[in-house]
Amino acid sequence: MCGIFAVFGHGGDTTAFRDRALTLSKKIRHRGPDWSGIKVVGRHFLCHERLAIVGLGSGAQPLTNADESVILCVNGEIYNHKALRKQLKGKYEFQTESDCEVIMYLYEEMGPAFINLLDGIFSFVLYDARKDEYLVARDPIGVTTLYQGWSGKDGSVWIASEMKSLNEDCDRIIAFPPGHVYSSATKQTTRYYEPVWWDPKRLPPSTPEPDLKAVREALERAVKKRLMTEVPFGVLLSGGLDSSIIAAIAARYTRRAAATAAAAKKQGAQKSADGNDDDYIEEAVHAAALWPRLHSFSIGLPGSPDIAAAQRVADFLGTAHHAFTFTVQEGLDALADVVYHLETYDVTTIRASTPMYLLSRKIKAMGVKMVLSGEGADEVFGGYLYFHQAPTDADFHAETVTRVQNLHTADNLRANKSTMAWGLEARVPFLDRGFLDVAMTLDPKHKRCGPGVMEKSVLRKAFDTPDDPYLPHEILWRQKEQFSDGVGYSWIDSLKEMTERAVSDEKWAARAVRFPHDTPTTREAYYYREIFHKHFPQRACVESVVRWVPRLDWGCSEDPSGRAQTAHQQAYVATDAAGKKRVGSPARKPASPKKVKTQK
């Protein structure tokens, strides 16, 4: 991934603004420390900060076609770029090995309709000088971050990967909606991504049994695609179900692909590990040949549940594992920087992002530039513990769809900005388009959790293969720990204690006066809101922030911690702003992993 910044229709002195544009682009240079570029055409400015993952020596941006009539800035990865090159009708002289260059030629042949062909994660701006028109687009689920702003001074339109490049100049700023494209020709933002499962009210077909093989194979394909790289890579491994499955698939494939690449080198040909010559597989084999042993990374407080579980997984998979610890004080000291990079005041996002931010710095210091991560599984499969309280199958399914649709406001934002703060790219196989088409069309009765049925049981069963196990049994059937809990329970406890002391009674009493819009409901939320306001004092900056909370109408606690939900084995008593108890002791005693495994 990279950083993009563009201004269309600037009304002032364009010569003077060029320096201003470079300054604003530099604010997101942490996203692309490898190279920078700028193109100016009339009153339009396109800037790029590059993180080189594919096409290392020739992929500098902005990209242009032969006569420079089309200019392109992209943040992302296009996994099917080689297949798309083969689909082009015309003959084009590609100037780079970049996976993004094909976008320009698809546009020349198809116009905006080409966007639905892209398989990857991306945000881009494309300017057509012949028509004096431009397009802005964002990937289907919003894995990459993108913002759009408007200046009332001259009517200019501003685009950036992060809000910090826009807030000083724009009167209004929004998070550009995922799965949409904006055309300056029509001045309309339209949805291009609308799969069959997109309507929360539309239930998938009822089936007697889930297709576990389809789930497993779709996720394996998603992981293989994301091994397209020319730089050192690894996996984020918390020791929870989601990251462990991704690590297990990646470990299997890198071992097989490395062996295949070695054999192919002797034969003078390159074939995939499974006999498939798909371009995805070919590139993954190439990556495995360069980096044949998988590295895994975990973080937690000393003695945390995640550290121990991650080590168990790493030992089982044979990864080169790197476990890091942090202290509560180190986490507290990082909060101001975390909020600055996240550009949100959402409690759960900040709680979980802080350890991820600290870990990303360690990983980048080791020379790694890309990691696989497990975001999205909890939304797709209803893995959060509050899903135990879903009233019906229809409610459960609708909530999974809504959560996936809003991932760009929470977990995607966290995974992207926590890592890209240090120039580290995170790829998320659970949000692969092909995998979503399989997982989101499962009958929700097979996904549901409840008394005696552990969350994400259908995913666990899909990878529960005793004859050739992907993971240790106790990991495969480990109860959900949200990342901010799993790094060590004292992390959230310390945040609450610190913020209770830091926010005075006087401030708390006047919270609605201080923050009349989206007024904080806890002192912890107030504390983060004050930090956010110091970084981003403009009113326009608040519109893009969305707070992540469980379903209060299901009787859930507002506290987003998994331990605040009754299904957690170590649930604690949480209180609302008035001090009223919301959660008591666990509503059930979770079955042992062995018992859960055999339930139908």
Q: Where are the alpha helices (DSSP H) in 366-488?
A: 377-381, 393-405, 411-420, 433-439, 457-462, 473-476, 483-486
To 10 degrees, the CA torsion angle through 386, 144, 333, 374? 50
Cα 46 to Cα 49, 129, 131, 180, 185: the distances in Å are 11, 12, 17, 20, 18
Residue 119 is labelled as binding a ligand:
no
Structure tokens at 587: 């509503």
Residues 6+ apart with CB under 8 A from 268: none
Q: What's the DSSP call for residue 453?
A: B
99 is in an annotated binding site: yes
Has 121 been labeled as part of a binding site? no
Which of 2, 47, 449, 556 is the catalytic position?
Answer: 2
Check whether 277 is labelled as a binding-site residue: no
Strands 172-175 and 147-150 come out as: antiparallel
Compute the chain's Rg from CA coordinates: 24
Q: How does DSSP classify residue 564?
A: G
Measure the CA–CA gap between 599 and 450, rounded to whole angstroms: 12
Take residue 497 and report the two structure tokens written for it.
Answer: 């204690």
User: Measuring CA to CA, which residue among 389, 243, 251, 239 is closest to residue 310?
Assistant: 239
Q: Is the bond preceding 62 in cis, omega lying within 30 degrees of 0? A: yes
- Residue 374 assigned ligand-binding role: yes
Q: Which tokens hold the place of 133?
A: 């028109």
Active site residue 556: no
Alpha helices in 389-544 (DSSP H): 393-405, 411-420, 433-439, 457-462, 473-476, 483-486, 489-502, 505-509, 511-514, 523-535
* Half-sphere exposure in the Cβ direction for 464 (13 Å, CA): 20
3-state SS assignment for residue 594: helix
Which residues belong to the annotated binding site for ATP?
236, 299, 373-374
Which residues belong to the annotated binding site?
99, 236, 299, 373-374
Which residues belong to the annotated binding site for L-glutamine?
99
Active site residues: 2
